Chain A
Amino acid sequence: MSKVVEVRWHGRGGQGAKTASELLAAAAFNTGKYVQGFPEYGPERMGAPIAAFTRISDEQIRIHSNIYEPNFVVVIDETLLDCVNVTAGLKEDGAIIVNTSKTPDEIKPSLEGYKGKVCTIDARTIAEECIGRNIPNTPMLAAIIKVSGVMSDDEFFNDMEDSLKKKFANKPQVIDGNMKAIKRAVSEVNGI
């Protein structure tokens, strides 16, 4: 089987886990990779636990199932730790990243004895302070790119700046806020 990096996202309906899975795919796509970004479709409701997936590879990706043994898991909402088995199938040589103000050691007891790397990032605070709203997506995206190493920080910064400039040509403050958030996020991941 070709070498594929698989990421599973856990969030709640409306928090942007699907968008995040596609943003990561887009960032990797822009560095020349083959990608897949997709959610687990269900009866979507605001606030209900949902999962989304990203695959990244140097070769064409043919596999079309969901992801059961991810290399990385990203938890956008830490309250999910109480109701979803977020580490199910997660590879021990991989990592989990949780959006929380707690430290990795404080989070570990909630992770069903997962032995791999545990990282945390306070994406909420970063988003609120840099973007002005609790949109944890962008800082979480920065965190997974830092932890997974699918691309260098600079590649990521340049790509994000390009994408944001295209998307928010009329709102320069949005671009600045988001860029500040991702730059801060890559340096504030705990447990790397």
Chain B
Amino acid sequence: MAIRDKLSGNEAVSIAMKQINPDVVAAYPITPSTEVPQYFSQYAADGLVDTEFVAVESEHSAMSACIGAQAAGGRSMTATSAQGLALMWEMLYIASSYRLPITMATINRALSGPINIHCDHSDSMGARDSGWIQIYSENNQEAYDNFIQAVRIGEHPDVMLPVMDCFDGFITSHKVENILLMEDEEVKKFVGKYNPPYHLMDKANPMSMGPLSLPMYYFESKRQQAEVMKNCIKVIEEVAADFEKVTGRKYGLFEEYKMDDAEVAIVIINSTAGTAKEVVDKLRSQGVKAGLLKIRVYRPFPVEQIVKALSGCKAIAVMDRADSMNGAGGPLFTDVTSAMYGRVEGVKAINYIYGLGGRDVKVDDIEVVYNELLEIVKTGKVKEVFNYLGVREG
């Protein structure tokens, strides 16, 4: 039986952590992710979990402790944001290359500077090539559901990779909303016991991790890692199907909202997708064939599936809550358009950078984007490929 509750995203994820009851949680506080280890450390102190809670002295140490614990055969978890994720950087690559299925709540916040504590995706987008699976969540419900699924995905024998569950700082992390929680027993049963195929504490089968890998081996090692990343799409879909059986909530690689006959669509990540769905409904009521594609699984990037979903559109706008500072569009735009190149013809694509540093995204802002798409369909001309939404222009 689902438990109806009202929780912030951070509360929901800390409850997921409690229900999973991992061996080790090592974390360092940073706004807006602080509440996750804060709530969890209370559960640990109250004896509600068996977890060893490690209050480390930095995020670099948090990730290092998770790597050590996971290498020793434990199930480890953490949470972070922005500069915290940046400080973990080198260890992210260690975790993924060692094939350690650590689960991390990544609460999206702008990377300073200028100093800012609010939401954008520059932190996790920067880590998009670190070899971690990245799953994005629109609201507290998805943050909770994806965190639980992340454990199963990462620990699957065909995957064995770390997973980030990314959701919007403050907007999702701190907003109290309705949520349906799973029973403790259901979560326990769903994630199962972690049975690593190998670990450092197995004295019957001694092993070493982290050997020096010089030019003769490193390339093969990375080639293998890239292949595993590509193949985990199947596992992500299987876990989602199992999750639906238990909860009735359906998850895919992305969510297609009114895409069946859509002529104009936006491609977007996280909480703003919700606001944009309201605009889609409004446009549909006016007879406009508008749709929305919300990315859930960003790493690996489901190339074929996304191209197929967008191939019927006349014009699309890809929305990036992070700028790549390269004059060639944000990371999602680059990924979507390069996926489409050579696979589908005639879909016009524009890019909007939006919401940096917590700039609020209103219904009116999203309407601007759809209006621009409709203008492109009408005139057949793209005025500007690279656009900024809601920034003061001189």
> B272 at the A/B interface (Cβ < 8 Å)?
yes
Interface string of A125-164 (1 = CB under 8 A from B): 0000000000000000000000000000000000000000
Interface bracket on A: 20 to 34
List residues of chain A with CB within 8 A of the CB of B175.
36-38, 64
**Which residues of B lie under 8 Å from residue A1 when comparing CB positions?**
278, 281-282
B247 partner residues in chain A, CB cutoff 8 A: none
- Interface size class, chain B: 20 to 34
A88 near B: Cβ within 8 Å? no
Most chain B Cβ neighbours within 10 Å, of A1, A29, A37, A62 = A62
Interface 9-residue window, one of B144-152, B225-233, B339-347, B358-366: B358-366
Contacts of A34 in B (CB 8 A): 177-178
Cα of A44 to Cα of B286 in the assembled complex, Å: 42
Query: What is the CA–CA distance of A143 and B275 in the complex, to the nearest angstrom?
Result: 30
Q: Assess whether B362 is in contact with A65, with CB atoms less than 8 Å apart.
A: yes
Residue in chain A with minimal CB distance to B8? A38
Which residue in A22, A60, A62, A63 is a CB contact (below 8 Å) of B176?
A22
A36 to B275, CA, bound (A): 14
Q: Is A103 an interface residue (CB 8 A)?
A: no
Complex formed: what's the CA distance from A63 to B271 in Å? 8
Q: Is B126 an interface residue (CB 8 A)?
A: no
A191 CA / B6 CA spacing, docked (Å):
33
Identity of the chain B residue whose Cβ is nearest the Cβ of A68 in the assembled complex: B362
Q: Which of A25, A35, A41, A62 contacts B118 (CB 8 A)?
A: A41
CB of B273 to closest CB in A, whole Å: 8
B365, chain A: closest CB distance, angstroms: 8
The answer to whether A66 has its CB under 8 Å from any CB of chain B is yes
CB 8 Å contact bits of A51-91 with B (1 = contact, 0 = none)? 00000000011111110100000000000000000000000
CB distance from B364 to the nearest CB of A (A): 9
Any B CB within 8 A of the CB of A26: yes
B196 interface contact, C-beta 8 A: no
The complex places the Cα of A36 from the Cα of B272 at a distance, in Å, of 15
**B176 lies within 8 A of A64 (CB):** no
State the CA gap A62–B272 with chains docked (Å): 9
A65-B363 contact given A1-B278, A29-B6, A35-B6, CB 8 Å threshold: yes
Are B178 and A62 in contact (CB-based, < 8 A)?
A: no
Closest Cβ–Cβ distance, residue A64 to chain B (whole Å): 4
By the criterion CB–CB under 8 Å, are B177 and A61 in contact? yes
Q: Whole-angstrom distance between the alpha carbons of A35 and B362 in the complex? A: 18
Cα distance, A66 to B364, chains bound together (Å): 12
B258 within 8 A of A: no
Interface residues of B in 161-215 (CB under 8 A from A): 168, 170-172, 174-178
A140 nearest CB across to chain B (Å): 18
How distant is the Cα of A22 from the Cα of B178 in the complex, in angstroms?
12
B18 close to chain A: CB less than 8 A: no
Within the complex, the shortest CB–CB distance from A106 to chain B, in Å, comes to 34
CB-CB < 8 A to A68: which residues of B? 362
Knowing that A62-B278, A64-B168 are A-B contacts, what are 12 other residue pairs whose CB atoms are under 8 Å apart, sorted by A's residue number?
Answer: A29-B6, A34-B178, A35-B177, A36-B176, A36-B177, A37-B175, A38-B171, A60-B178, A62-B275, A65-B275, A65-B363, A68-B362
Cross-chain pairs A/B with CB under 8 angstroms, 18 sampled? A1-B278, A1-B282, A22-B176, A26-B176, A35-B6, A36-B175, A37-B175, A37-B176, A38-B174, A38-B176, A60-B178, A61-B178, A62-B274, A63-B275, A63-B278, A64-B172, A64-B175, A65-B361
B interface residues with partner A (beta carbon < 8 Å): 6, 32, 117-118, 139, 168, 170-172, 174-178, 271-272, 274-275, 277-278, 281-282, 358, 360-363
